[in-house]
Structures are given as structure tokens and as C-alpha cells.
Chain A
Amino acid sequence: MSIIKDVQSGKKPLKRAYVAIFLWFTGRAIQAAAKVDSEVKKEFEKLPEDFTFSLGCLPCGPWMVVGREKGVVKYLGGDSRGRPVQVRLAIKSLDAGFLILSFQESTALATARNRLITDGEIPQALAIIRILDIVEVYLLPKLIASLAVKRYPSWWSFGRKLGGRIGVYTRTLLGI
């Protein structure tokens, strides 16, 4: 018998499932926010017609893909299905993805901590980060959102916050 054992790396089904569900939810929320929030809408309009971006974990996923189809922003599922992806935001490990998506580590902090690799044209990647920040403000209660983004937009009107939140949530859950 060899003194060296070969060991297959294990699996992490629970963490994987959690991350996959949250990515799915975020993807649908971006689709919803693109309809409800004028700022998100404007950011997307500045991007190319068939623009696609993905967010997920290295080395083996899961991923979320969002893109514009004929100008309409759509959540495109868990893999890019052969579509060219212009911007890829890759979290360095499934565990880091779990830290971020379970709000133990904010997106801004995760970037600061070097856990996020951004691939693609920088101006487009920055637009995506601004969109994610706005979506986070809609999805999360203020206490958590103010940790997740660098600066909580306390100057937003009450109407924008409430109306937007209801709109984003309803559309996310219904998938419209």
C-alpha cells in the first residue's frame, strides 16, 4: 500500500443549495428592479442591447445569469447557455459565497477583502455593482442593507423606498 492516499474532495450540498436559491432570488429581483426602479432602468439602458452578466462561485458554481433580450432585462437561469457573458463577477469559493449571501459579509467588504474577481470591461462591471447595491437596498431591511452597501441612501424618498420594495418583491416572487 502506498504511503500516499488519494482522496476525492467532498461535497457541500447544503451550502450549495442555499447559495443557489439566493442567486436565483437575486437574479429575479434584478429583473424586477429593472422594471420598477428608474435608476436601475437607466443603468441597464446604457449597456449594450444583448448585454449579459453572471454572478457566482468558483470553481464549480452555482451561477446566476442576467441579460438583456431585445432590450428587456431577464433572469436567464443558472448557466449562460452558450451566450457570451460580458461581465463575470466570480466569488473565490462557495464558502465565501455563503458568507456574502447569508449577509455575514457585505458585498463591499467582500470586495475589500479580495474575495471577488471581476472580469470584463470595467465601466460595465461598475454599472452592475451599482445595480446590485440598489437591489440590495430594496430587498433587505435597513439594518442589514446598511451593512451590505457602502452608503445607505437615506436621502431616498419614503415613497421610492416603499413603492420600490413592494414592486420588487411582488415581481420577484411572481417572476414577472
Chain B
Amino acid sequence: MNSAAVFDFTCPVKTNSGNKALEHLPVELAGLNAVNPLIVANARAVGPKAVRTLMNAFGDSKMTLGLFEGVTEAADLGVVDHLKNICLEKKYDAFIALGGGKAADVAKVLNLAVSLKTPDARQLSPKTPVRKRLLPLVVVPTAGADGLETSGFAHLNRMIFSSEFLAPGLAVLDSRLARARKGILMAATGLAALGRAVESHVSADRNPFQKAYSFAAVRFVRENLPAAVADPGNKKAALAVLNAAAMSGCAFSNAASGRLHKLGQVFYELLGIPQGVIMGMCLSRVLEDGFREGSCDPAALLQPLAGDDAFARTPAGKRAEAALALLNRFLEELRGALGKDLPKSLSEAGVSGYRKEEILDVLGKDEDGHYLRGVVEGMAGGKRERKG
């Protein structure tokens, strides 16, 4: 604990996780004085079955639900404005984001626009002051969640909205929605959770409250991701990975935006590559560099990664190296299990030299740009890079 300065921590998110978690939604909403929720979903990403499962959970509740299934990766503030007008007219009093990524982003910004009754949502920007609690927002992450669902961040129109009031009040993690069709989807979720949790767990200004979340997230990924990837039908393992993702978002909301997050985010925003894929590629390097510079403390990772016995057996001076080695082995095994599905370099991920330049340009504007560009160059790999 760094007690030199005052620290603060908030996690506004309540977690409901497990079997039939969705079925408690009518009671949860009633407890928040909400009777007329709007479901915001990217139906193409989550599939019709997930939408049906969510709608069925309200069975026997005599409630009426609004359903907007049309979130796309291209959704922007224009869509939010359009939705806001309908919401104000129909008086929806809560929002439920089904699925991760853009659905959660749109729901968060829509909640902002509706709660503040913004005349034109297209004028919203990260500078818009948010001082009061918004309407109730529930997120229901599905396989493919990136962990940002539970955070106080929303990415829209290449802007980052950030406020603790944007974070959802409730995250519902239901076993039926946790399973992925493919192992790679699970791996992307797990690696994004791992990346953000690790970054928060090793940072110099971490506090014990944040550490509770990052500790549990890292341990869950380590214990469950391999099983979830090997068998995407393994409900229990998949739910644990989804839990890790939700926890990582809570830890991350309270940490300074780190290198891994920045790298994952820029590739996702510009090229649509899942954050976890990129974070998995550069996790080891970023940690090793941070360790060498003295800006992070990988030793803290050994207990959640290795378990109590192995942690206790490793002498204090060797814990950082042991944690890094363990992490490398863990990633190697994951790559081994997924083969070609999990790209090891940018060229394997199909990033052309031209697109890479674009990424480098954007990163150049970051205060840490020089370093981040170096990492991206190091990730290029493969033959295609030489050709392009």
C-alpha cells in the first residue's frame, strides 16, 4: 500500500453471477424503481438465442420491454441521438446492454443523453460534465466481452467518455450467455481480462481495494481460461472467464490507463481486432520492460498466477522472474492450444504495413508514444512484414 498520498477507490457495479442470474432482473429493476427498461443489443454479434434468453428471463413478470437490436460496430452519436428521442418519448426508465463492446458503449452514452435530457446527443463530448447519478444501467456481457462493460469508460466516435457515473449499477453474468462458439472468442475475452487485471495489479499506485478485484481476476483467468478455450461448451469455466472480465473492468476503472490497454484499444478501434488478441501478443514484453525500468512489480503476480503453494516456495527475490516465466508459459500453452486461430504477430493477424503505419501515427500522439511505437514494431513479425 502506498500510504504517502491519499488514494480513492470506487466500484459502483453490483455483480450477479451464475445459474439463472438473468431471471432475477425483474426484481433487481423493481428495487431500482425501474419498470420499463430498454434492451440495447448488437443482435448480429450476440446471436438471436442470447436475445431470446434475455427476453425469456422476464417471463411471468408482466413487464413490457423495449428492444433495440440494431447496434453495429459503426454506431455513433447520431444513433444515440435518434434513440434518445424515442426514449424520452416512450419514457424508458432503465437500460440493459446485452453483449460487450459497442452495445455497452452505446447504452452508456445513451443513458447519459437521456438522463441529462441533452437536446442534441451529437454534441456530447468527454468534456460534458456528469455530476449526478444517471438512470439505472445493467450490463449483460456475453462471450466476447472485453471487460470494459463494467468500467466507467465508453468509446464512441473515437472519443473516450469517462466518469464513475457511466459505469453500470449492475452486471449480470449468466452461465447460459457465457459460452462461446469458438475457443478464440473465449481466449480474446480472457486475455483482455488478464491484460487489464495484470496492468492494474502490478502498477505502483495500486491500492488494496483495487487489488482484491485484480487478484481474483488474474487467478480466475489462470485457473479457467485453458479449460474454457479447450472446450467452449464448458459452462463453468466460461462463466469464470466472464467473471474475470467483469472484475478486470472494475479494477481498471480505478487504475491509470496503462500501456497494454492503450495498445489493445487502438487496434480494436482502428482495425476491429479484439483487444485480448493484441494484449496477448505484447503482455510479456510490456511487463518485462516495466520491470526493467522499475515502473511495475511483477512479483505481485506470482500468488494469483502460481497458487499459494508455489508462491510460498519461491524466495521473495525470485518472484518477479518466476511470475514472468509462468506468464510466458501460460501464453505459450494457450497459443499451442489455439494454433493458427490466435495470431502471434501483426502479420499473422493480417495487419498490413499500411494499416500498421496508421496505428503508429495514432500512437505517436500519446505521451508514451515513443515506447508504444517500439512495441508495435516488435510485434510486426512474419514474412509479410518484409514484403509490405
Task: Give yes or no for direct A-B contact (beta carbon below 8 Å).
Answer: yes
Chain A: residues with CB nearer than 8 A to chain B?
Answer: 2-12, 15-16, 58-60, 92-96, 99, 113, 115
CB proximity to A under 8 Å, residues B39-77: 55-70
B18 contacts A by Cβ under 8 Å? yes
Binding site for A on B (CB under 8 A): 18-20, 23-24, 26-27, 30, 38, 55-70, 82-83, 86, 90
Q: Let me know if A7 and B65 touch, CB within 8 A.
A: yes
Asked whether A113 and B18 contact (CB < 8 A) given A9-B63, A9-B64, the answer is yes
Asked if A4 and B59 sit within 8 Å, CB to CB, the answer is no
Residues of B with C-beta under 8 A to A7: 55, 64-67
Given contacts A5-B66, A6-B65, contact A58 B27 (CB under 8 A): yes
Smallest Cβ-Cβ distance to A13: which chain B residue: B60
Task: Provide the residues of chain B in CB contact with A115, threshold 8 Å.
Answer: 24
Structural contact, A94 and B60, CB atoms closer than 8 A: yes
What's the least CB distance linking A55 to chain B, in Å? 16
CB-CB under 8 A from A58, the residues of chain B are: 26-27, 30
Grouping DSSP codes into helix (H, G, I), strand (E, B) and loop, the B interface class, with mixed when no group exceeds half, is mixed
> Is there an interface contact between A4 and B38, defined as CB atoms closer than 8 Å?
yes
New A-B pairs, 4, CB < 8 Å, besides A5-B66, A6-B65 = A3-B68, A9-B62, A59-B26, A59-B30
| Pairwise interchain contact B23-A96, C-beta atoms closer than 8 A | yes
Asked if B62 and A95 sit within 8 Å, CB to CB, the answer is: no
Determine the chain B residues whose CB is within 8 A of the CB of A4 once the complex forms: 38, 66-68, 83, 86, 90
B86 to chain A, nearest CB (A): 5
- Contact: A93 with B27, CB < 8 Å? yes
B345–chain A nearest beta-carbon distance, Å: 41
A-B contacts, 17 of them at CB < 8 A, read: A4-B38, A5-B69, A6-B65, A6-B66, A6-B67, A7-B55, A9-B55, A9-B62, A15-B60, A58-B27, A59-B27, A92-B27, A93-B26, A93-B27, A94-B60, A95-B20, A99-B20
Assembly CA distance A2 to B66 (angstroms):
11
Chain B minimum-CB-distance residue to A10: B59
A1 to chain B, nearest CB (A): 12
Whether A3 lies near B30 (C-beta < 8 A) is: no
B23 contact from A60, A94, A113, Cβ within 8 A: A94
B322, chain A: closest CB distance, angstroms: 37
**Smallest CB–CB gap between B143 and chain A, Å?**
22
Quick check: A9 and B24 within 8 Å, CB to CB? no
Q: Bound state CA distance, A16 and B61, in angstroms?
A: 12
Instruction: Find out whether the CB atom of B64 lies under 8 angstroms from the CB atom of A3.
Output: no
- B23: chain A residues at CB < 8 Å are 92-96
The complex places the Cα of A92 from the Cα of B38 at a distance, in Å, of 21
